[in-house]
Amino acid sequence: MLQIFRDKSQSPFIQAIVLVIVLVFVFWGVGANMMGTRDAAIVVNDEEISFQEYQRVYDQLLASYRQQFGGSVPEELLKSLGLSAQVSNQLIQETLLRQGAASMGLLVSAPEVQRAIQEMVQFQENDSFNMEKYKTLLASNRLTPNKYEASRRVEMLSAKGVQAIGNFATTVTDAEISDLYQQAKEKIILNFAKISPANFKDDVVIEEEALVSWFDQNKENYKTDPQVQLKFLSFPYGGDTAPKDMDESKARTLVFQKANDAYEGILSAGSLQEYAKLHPEAVILETEFFSRKTPPENIDKAPAVQNKAFSLKAGELSSLIESPFGYSILYAQAVQAPEIPALETVRDQVTADYKTAQAKVLARKKSEEMLSALKADAVFTDLGKTNTIEIKQATLSRSPTDEETNGFPSSLLMDVFSLSSIKPLPEEPATVGEDFYLYQFTERILPDPAGMTDEEKEQYRTHILSAKQERILIAWIRHQEKTADIVTNKSIQ
C-alpha cells in the first residue's frame, strides 16, 4: 500500500484493535480483578492486575518474538527489547481502555456476548454454532462457559471503548484527500552519481612509513587464530561398536556404554597415555595443530566437540562429549595462543587491505569535493565529465520500478522526497555499503487530482480517517496515563 501508511503495526490504535481480536483466541485472562488474588503486579485506579495475568501476557509476547527469530532470542536482544516494560504498558493501556469505556456508560449485554460467540468459527459446525463443540473446546482449555463469557464481555467492552474514542474523528475533507493523493503519486526527477572506492584503488600510493603505521593501528585484525593439537577417542554412531542390524536405540546405548567405559578407564589409569598402555586395542587418534576454521577430517565437527577442543588447556582431558554423531574424549597435547604476526609474514594481505581502506578515503574525499562544487552552482554533468564519473537520471515515485530507479538505491528514497528546488542537494554524500552517492533534485511532478478514481478517493478517505482516529486514541491514552493512579510492583520494573 502507500508508503506513508506502511509500518503502522506498532501504533497503539492498531495494537488495541489487534489485541481485541487476539484475546478471542487466548481463552483466559479475564482481568486481574476477577482473578481472586490480592497478589498484584500492577494496580490501575484501584483495579489489580495479578502476577498470573502479567506472566501470561509476558509469555505470549516472548513466544511471539521466539517465533519471529526462529525459536530462540539472544539474551542481549531480549534485554534491549524491554519485554517487561512492553507488557506493563500493554496491560495498563488495556485496563485504561476498559475503565474508560465503562465511564462513558458503554455496556455489553448478554445477547451481544451470545451473538459474538455464536459467530466465532471455532465454535461452528456446518456454518452453524454447535453447543457441544463450544463446551468441549472450553473444557479442553479448563474454562467454564460462565468464565469465558465474562472474558468476552470484558474484551467487547474494550473494543467499544476503542470505537467510541475513534468516532470523535469523523471528517475528512476533499483538500486532505487531494494532498494525500498528490503526496502518494508525486514523482521526483534527479541526477545522481555513484562514487565507488573500487575505482580509486589504482590511485593509492603505497608508502612504507604509512603502511607500517596503518598496520600498527590495525594489527589486531591480523592476529592468528588459536590452535590446538589433540589426541582423542571417537565413538561414532554407526561405527563398529554395534552390529549393523541392531535396533537404533539399543545401538546408541551400546555406543554410550563403550564410550563411558573408556572414559572411566582413563580416569582410573590416571591419564590417556597410561590408559593406552593398558588397552592396546584402543584406537587413539592424533591431530596436527589446527584452528576452528580448519578442523581435521577425522574429528567430530559438531559445535559441542569443537567448542570443547578450544576451551581445553595444554595437558587437560575433556569430559565425555556427546554430539548428534556420537561421543568423543579429547586430550589437549598442546595449545597455541593467538599472536600478532610480523608485518613481513602478512605483507601482501596488509597491502591489499591498506589499498582498500585508502581507496575509500579517496572516494569520500572526491564525493565531498563534488558536493561542494554542486553547492557552488557547478553543473552536475560537467563535474561528471571532469572526474570521469557517470551521471545518471532517475524518475522516482514512492514505490518505483527498477526501470525508474536506474540503479538509484531504494534506501535513499525517503531522503530524496525531502528535497526541493529550494534545497536540491543533501547535506553530505550518502553512503550505501562501500559506495558514496551524490544526487541533485531537478523537478517534482504532481498528479492532477482530477485523475483520481472514486475507488482511490475512498481508499485515501479511509486511511486519513484511520490516521486521525489513531492520533485521537494516542492522545486519549496519554492523558489517561497522566491522570490515572498507577502503581507498578518493583519486582517487574
For residue 403, what pLDDT is reported?
73
CB–CB of 445/186 below 8 Å?
yes
CB–CB of 5/451 below 8 Å?
no
For 171, 193, 385, 415, 452, the CA distances from 425, given in Å and listed in that order, are 38, 13, 19, 10, 31
What is the C-alpha separation between 289 and 228, in angstroms, rounded? 5
Does residue 27 surpass a pLDDT of 60? no
Does residue 3 surpass a pLDDT of 50? no
Does residue 12 surpass a pLDDT of 70? no
Q: How many CB atoms lie within 10 A of CB 105?
A: 7
| Full-model pTM | 0.57
For residue 1, what pLDDT is reported?
38
For residue 26, what pLDDT is reported?
39
For 44, 81, 82, 273, the CA distances from 87, given in Å and listed in that order, are 14, 11, 9, 58
For residue 436, what pLDDT is reported?
97
For residue 385, what pLDDT is reported?
94
Segment 387-435, tens digit of pLDDT: 999 999 999 988 877 777 889 998 998 899 999 999 999 999 999 999 9
Amino acid at 488: T
More confident residue, 170 or 460: 460
Amino acid at 457: K
User: Where are any strands of DSSP class E within 51-142?
Assistant: 124-125, 128-129
Residue of 387, 405, 406 whose CA lies nearest to 396: 405
Amino acid at 356: T
The percentage of the chain sitting over the pLDDT mark of 70, rounded to a whole number, equals 92
Span between the terminal Cα atoms of the chain, in Å = 38
Enter the CATH code of domain 224-336: 3.10.50.40
Q: What is the dihedral of CA 283, 288, 291, 292, to 10 degrees?
A: -20
Q: Which helix (H) or strand (E) holds 241?
A: none
Does residue 8 surpass a pLDDT of 60? no
**Where does the pLDDT of residue 35 fall: very low under 50, low under 70, confident under 90, or very high at 90 and above?**
very low
Q: What is the CA radius of gyration of the chain?
A: 34
What is the mean pLDDT of the segment spanning 301-318?
A: 94
More confident residue, 240 or 474: 474
What is the mean pLDDT of the segment spanning 22-37?
A: 38
In DSSP terms, 373 is beta-bridged to none
C-alpha cell at 45: 485506579
The percentage of the chain sitting over the pLDDT mark of 90, rounded to a whole number, equals 57
Segment 291-303, tens digit of pLDDT: 999 999 999 999 9
Does residue 492 surpass a pLDDT of 90? no
What is the mean pLDDT of the segment spanning 466-474?
A: 89
What is the mean pLDDT of the segment spanning 462-468?
A: 90
For residue 155, what pLDDT is reported?
84
What is the mean pLDDT of the segment spanning 364-371?
A: 96
Residue of 14, 40, 30, 150 whose CA lies nearest to 485: 40
Residue 235 sits at φ, ψ, to 5 deg, of: -130, 80
* Most trustworthy range by pLDDT among 8-17, 29-38, 101-110, 355-364: 355-364
Residue boundaries of the structural domains of the chain: 3-174+455-492, 187-219+345-445, 224-336
- Homologous superfamily of domain range 3-174+455-492: Porin chaperone SurA, peptide-binding domain (1.10.4030.10)
Q: What is the DSSP string of 249-318?
A: HHHHHHHHHHHHHHHHHHHHHSSHHHHHHH-TTS--EE--SB-TTS--TTS--SHHHHHHHTTPPTTPBP
What is the C-alpha separation between 482 and 84, in angstroms, rounded? 20
Crossing angle of helices 131-140/145-166, nearest 10°?
100
Segment 186-198, tens digit of pLDDT: 999 999 999 999 9
